[in-house]
Amino acid sequence: MDVAGSPGRALRRGLPVVFAAALQDVPVWVFHGAKNPTGNMEMSRSVVEALETAGADPKYTGIPDGDHGITDAVHGDDEFHQWHFAQRREQGRGLKPAGAGHEFASTWRRAAG
C-alpha cells in the first residue's frame, strides 16, 4: 500500500530515474481502484512504466469497482498471497540503509509469475 513519502509517490512526483532504478530488483505489485477519487489509474500505470523502463518486472492490477479503500480486495486475493510469500531476499548483497551494518544489506530475488 502506498504511504506518504513512499517510492510510489516520489515516482509520481517526477523522480522516476532515482527511485525506479533503486527498485529494479524489488518485487512490486501495483493495485489501483478505478473509482479512486485521490488519483487516477494513469498515475499508477506511469509508476509501472517507470519501473519497467528501469529494468524491473512489476505486476499491475486495476480493480474496476475499487475506490481508495481496496485493501480488502487485495488481501482477499489468493493469487496475491501466493505471489507475496513466494518472494525471497538474498542477504549480504545490494544497497543498504545509511548507517546500517552489512548484515542488513540484501537483494530481492523475484519469484516467477
Q: Domain ranges in the chain?
A: 7-109
Residues 27-65 have pLDDT tens digits of: 999 999 889 888 888 888 888 888 898 888 999 999 898
Distance CA 75, CA 92 (A): 30
Helix H or strand E encompassing 81: helix 78-86
Interstrand relation of 59-63 and 29-33 (parallel, antiparallel or unpaired)? parallel
CATH number of 7-109: 3.40.50.1820
Distance CA 87, CA 40 (A): 28
C-alpha cell at 71: 485493501
Residues 12-31 have pLDDT tens digits of: 565 555 667 777 788 999 99
The model's pTM is 0.64
Share of residues in the chain with pLDDT > 90 (%): 11
* Main-chain dihedrals φ then ψ at residue 57, nearest 5 degrees: -130, 65
Q: Which residues contact 96 (CB under 8 A, 6 or more apart)?
A: 102, 104, 105, 106
Task: Identify the pLDDT of residue 15.
Answer: 55
